Amino acid sequence: MTGTDIEAVIIKELRKFANDTTEVSPDTNIVRDLNLPSLDVMELVMSLEDDLDISIPLDRIADIETVQELAELVRTLSTKADV
Amino acid sequence: MGIMDKFKDLGTAYDDVKSAGRDPFSVRFDEILSPTEGVIDGKKTILLGTNNYLGLTFDKRSVEQAVSVLRESGTGTTGSRIANGSYGWHQRLENDLAEFFGRRHAMMFTTGYQANLGIIATLAGRDDHLVIDADSHACIYDACKLTSAQVTRFKHNDPVDLGKRLSRLKSQGGNIIVVTEGIFSMLGDKAPLREIAAVTKKFGAYLVVDEAHSMGVLGVNGRGLAEEQGVEDQVDFILGTFSKSLGAIGGFCVSNIDDFDLLRVACRPYMFTASLPASVVASVVTSLEKVQKGQFLREKLMGNAKRLYDGLQSAGFHVGPDVSPVVAVQLPSPEMAVAYWNALLDEGLYVNLALPPATPMGQALLRSSVSAVHTHQQIDKAISLITKVSRDFGAIIPERITSVG
């Protein structure tokens, strides 16, 4: 899966939590721009784990701010899982 | 930006809750009359939210024992067991707990919160994986913050989802530790422990169960959900508390694992906090005997739980999925829950107000906890008061209430 594909999956999942009118792009700051509570962030992680069939440890999420950064983390974890 | 500015939103939410009447997070009891009755604002009030499952807080023998040891041993230990040493009562209770659970080892903590925090965070090391139920108590989430292990959540009470997540971790190396609870504290639902244990063992993982709300309550001998579901041999670590069915304060862990005592010099929430006063420990020693022989109390407790659960359900309220001593009424909004809670207190009924984010699925709950020593009259009065308050608010439209959650 390419970085763009992963971003698309993340944006699709984020739309479930965000206000319909809010624009979500790779540069969107997940917590600040979308006002996502920490519980929703954990639910988002759970959904992404299922969509992408990987494990995303919660401690790795702490430093993530943007959709792009999350996609990069997911890509790294996917590569690791494939090894 | 001031140091307290980050709490601004929290402060606003707290003010909103308080503006509806009392402050639900700092209720003051003028007097505690018994395990089921107290005085609040000069009014005699039924206590239906104190987790006093077996009603042992005023047990005559436990109180006498505590008083006698208080005179013998003084008011406190003034330090940790690592630094200041143990009293005979500490070791006595650990031996009794190990025997009660049929395990080789027991270790006690100053609170149940610390037992979960300490054991879970310490067991899970840097290369390990902690896999927790998504609806876990805050102390388990706090253990996840303290641990250096990687943390994954599985869907609440869903063994199939757990299996899916364990299968993703199996190739990553490190130990896997699965954590769940006996009775979940908000809705009173039980874990499907037999199925969770089977999946956990299939993947060669360790299983930790917090029996805080189920010890003394479930199982013929009161050993909790693992006993009730016949899977004690598959649970590697049982965690629990002295502050519910045992009527005091403190926490514990029991296990058969080799080298268990190394945790005493590795587990920081055990090492760097003052130990329980001997008087408290002595009261728990006596209460534990009561719990062990407490089959009659357990039958009364479950009878009361069923009476409250069935009564509220047939009055049109939506309650949790399992009959247990924790009975939570689900209400359509936090505002309504706050209004109910205040009105019930005016009527002389104390329950817990549980609001998001502390509740599953963002629910607003009136949480009750039943005791074996509640009388049928008290339970019936509680049902009629909750129903009355609901009518007063014009909200008892069962379709509307049952559509929530």
* Integer Cα distance of B402 and B179 in angstroms: 31
pLDDT tens digit string along B156-177? Answer: 999 999 999 999 998 899 999 9
* Integer Cα distance of B378 and B388 in angstroms: 15
Q: Which of A49, A58, A81 sits opposite B151 (nearest CB)?
A: A58
CA distance A58 to chain B (A): 5
CB contact under 8 A, B150 and A49: no
All residues of chain A having their beta carbon less than 8 Å from the beta carbon of residue B172 are 55, 80-81
CB contact under 8 A, A57 and B150: yes
More confident: A51 or A83 = A51
Q: Alpha carbon A22 to chain centroid distance? A: 16
CA distance A69 to chain B (A): 19
CA distance B321 to chain A (A): 22
CA distance B152 to chain A (A): 5
Count Cβ atoms within 10 A of the Cβ of residue B217 and give its class: 0-12 exposed, 13-18 middle, 19 or more buried.
buried
Q: Which of A38, A46, A81 sits opposite B153 (nearest CB)?
A: A46
Residue A59, chain B, CB below 8 Å: the answer is: yes
Reading the block at residue B310, the tokens are: 């069935």
CB contact under 8 A, B152 and A58: yes
Q: Which of A39, A57, A80 sits opposite B152 (nearest CB)?
A: A57
CB contact under 8 A, A57 and B151: yes
Percentage of residues in chain B with pLDDT exceeding 70? 97
Closest to B153 measured CA to CA, from B184, B127, B129: B129
Give B245's contacts (C-beta < 8 A, 6+ positions apart): B53, B54, B56, B215, B216, B217, B222, B291
CB contact under 8 A, A55 and B152: yes
The CA–CA distances, whole Å, from B36 to B221, B247, B320 equal 24, 13, 22
CB contact under 8 A, B152 and A49: yes
Number of A:B CB contacts under 8 A?
A: 41
Per-residue confidence (pLDDT) for residue B357, from 0 to 100: 84
pLDDT exceeds 80 at position A39: yes
Q: Which of A37, A42, A54 sits opposite B153 (nearest CB)?
A: A42
CA distance A37 to chain B (A): 9
Closest to B234 measured CA to CA, from B198, B210, B183, B260: B198
All residues of chain A having their beta carbon less than 8 Å from the beta carbon of residue B357 are 37-39
What residue in B sits closest to A55 (Cα-Cα)? Answer: B168
pLDDT exceeds 50 at position A57: yes
* Integer Cα distance of B370 and B299 in angstroms: 12
CB contact under 8 A, B153 and A50: no
pLDDT tens digit string along B317-373? Answer: 999 999 999 999 999 999 999 999 999 999 999 999 999 888 988 899 999 999 999
CA distance B180 to chain A (A): 17
Q: Which of B129, B164, B357 sits opposite A37 (nearest CB)?
A: B357
All residues of chain A having their beta carbon less than 8 Å from the beta carbon of residue B169 are 55
Residue ranges of chain B with pLDDT lower than 50?
Answer: 397-405
Give B251's contacts (C-beta < 8 A, 6+ positions apart): B108, B109, B110, B111, B112, B113, B114, B115, B116, B239, B240, B241, B242, B243
The band of A82, judged by pLDDT with boundaries at 50, 70 and 90, is low
CB contact under 8 A, B151 and A54: no
What 3-state DSSP class applies to A52? helix
Per-residue confidence (pLDDT) for residue B404, from 0 to 100: 38
What 3-state DSSP class applies to B61? helix
